[in-house]
Structure 1
């Protein structure tokens, strides 16, 4: 009996360490956060490779390629500028009718989106972001709220780290 308990304990520990049990449905394909992408990683290490990699895992708008191409075209050494440009380019490439959220996946958050049309993993240097394009919902940032960690555009009301998004139509 001890062996089964030990195996169950190891399995639960693995789930807890990877966070697999707490992933929301639309973000289930996001990458695990590596030590280099952790919030305390040095800015020099994060800025060493500023290329943009985009993996669109859900595309109900049929604009995933255009969105990915727009994000890959961003050339900047400034992380805050990257986030601002990425949000604007994603908003425009998606047709300007949907809300957009870009968030640093190394921080905790709570998302409750309705009508998610696009989800993509976006990597700038060593930083991994989630990109959601959606109709409405709520998002709560439980981490650092600077431009380097999140950006959003659309129709919303904000109260600190909590945002309530409305449909545009």
Structure 2
């Protein structure tokens, strides 16, 4: 599925004008997960978990570990964006059972995702940066924006060639 940069720009613009975050279109297709950790509903009614500068909204959870992933990300305490991304993908991998690939990507950048069997999807806000978090079995991802740890990170079984990543199943 192609996610043009315009979608992320629209979401950030809506947030700036209304104070309400808009989820990517594919997130709206999935059921909202209920959080057991001090949930606060956003304007869409989805549960958001907030912590030290990190907000996580899980909108798909086929593994049943969305709350554990949200809690793990919420516990990250760093002022360094690159460090946040590195810690986030590792913590999400471990909190989701260590069997699936993980991708965290800055939604203001251009990208094309072709993931199979997405198990968890969440919107993650760190400071003023909005990321998409996918936990999935296999697929491909192309970063058409700026690379580097501040904009994207991955964890799992993959082969990377520049901005293109091919993910394999762990089994």
Distance 1:81-1:142 versus aligned 2 partners, 3 A rule: same
2-side partners of 1:24 and 1:55: how far apart? Answer: 14
**1:107-118 superposed matches below 5 A:** 107-118=109-120
CA RMSD of aligned residues (A): 2.1
The residue that corresponds to 1:44 in the other structure is none
| Corresponding position: 1:94 with 2:96 | yes
Aligned length: 132
* TM-score using structure 2 length: 0.72
Distance 1:107-1:159 versus aligned 2 partners, 3 A rule: same
3-state SS of 2:102 partner: strand
Identify the structure with the greater helix proportion.
Answer: 1
2-side partners of 1:27 and 1:87: how far apart? Answer: 23
**1:53-132 superposed matches below 5 A:** 53-132=55-134
Q: Which ranges in structure 2 are unaligned for 5 or more consecutive residues?
A: 1-6, 12-23, 31-51
The residue that corresponds to 1:165 in the other structure is 167
2-side partners of 1:75 and 1:168: how far apart? Answer: 30
Q: How big is the shift at 1:51?
A: 0.5
| Corresponding position: 1:156 with 2:158 | yes
Q: Which ranges in structure 1 are unaligned for 5 or more consecutive residues?
A: 1-14, 30-49
User: Is residue 27–residue 119 contact of structure 1 (8 Å, CA) maintained in 2?
Assistant: no
Identify the structure with the greater strand proportion.
Answer: 2
Larger radius of gyration: 1
Distance 1:26-1:114 versus aligned 2 partners, 3 A rule: farther
